[in-house]
Amino acid sequence: MKFVTFTTATLLSTTMAFAAGDMVQGVTAADQSVANGIVSAEKITAAQNGWLVVHRTDASMKPGPVVAYAPIREGETMDVAAILTEPVAPGDMLMLMVHGEDGGNIVGNFEYTLGAKEDGPVRIDGNLVMTVITVQ
């Protein structure tokens, strides 16, 4: 009986690891009001634990300073809310991006600063995993 349990557990963990590596990572979010001090993503799919990081951006679509972040889990995370750390006005563009939880000194602490490698952006084939919204 123990052998069957071990085999089943091994098979499940192998399947989950395979599925996580093959998942389509992304961020789903819509233009929204942030009057309540929160930026939300409807769904985030990530291959590892990490962070939803909200960067300022503009028409150049380059990530700017971080204005909010929230932890996310490997797999699918629904309704992720990040608390703003500074004022954001209607018309501002925000880039909601997936960052990893690696390279830092403390697991569970968001350690990224613009351009750093710690807890840095996730890229697939050189492209950032992100979406851009406009504040209403």
Q: Which helix (H) or strand (E) holds 96?
A: strand 93-100
Chain center to CA of 16? 19
Instruction: Return the amino acid letter for 46.
Output: A
pLDDT mean over 62-83: 97
Q: What b/e sequence results for 64-81 when a residue is b if at least 16 CB atoms lie within 10 Å of its CB, and e otherwise?
A: eebbbbbebebeebeebe
Regarding pTM above 0.85, the answer is no
Angle at 68 between CA 62 and CA 71, to 5 degrees: 110
pLDDT mean over 95-108: 91
Query: Strand, coil or helix: what is 3?
Result: helix
pLDDT mean over 59-66: 96
Measured CA to CA, the distance from residue 84 to residue 111 in angstroms comes to 17
Helices (H), the chain: 2-22
Measured CA to CA, the distance from residue 15 to residue 135 in angstroms comes to 39
Comparing 19-23, 50-54, 57-61, the range with the smallest average pLDDT is: 19-23
Could you give the strand order of the β-sheet that contains 26-28, starting from the edge strand earlier in sequence?
26-28, 38-46, 75-83
When pLDDT is cut at 50, 70 and 90, the band that residue 3 belongs to is very low
pLDDT mean over 99-125: 90
Task: Report which DSSP code applies to 25.
Answer: -
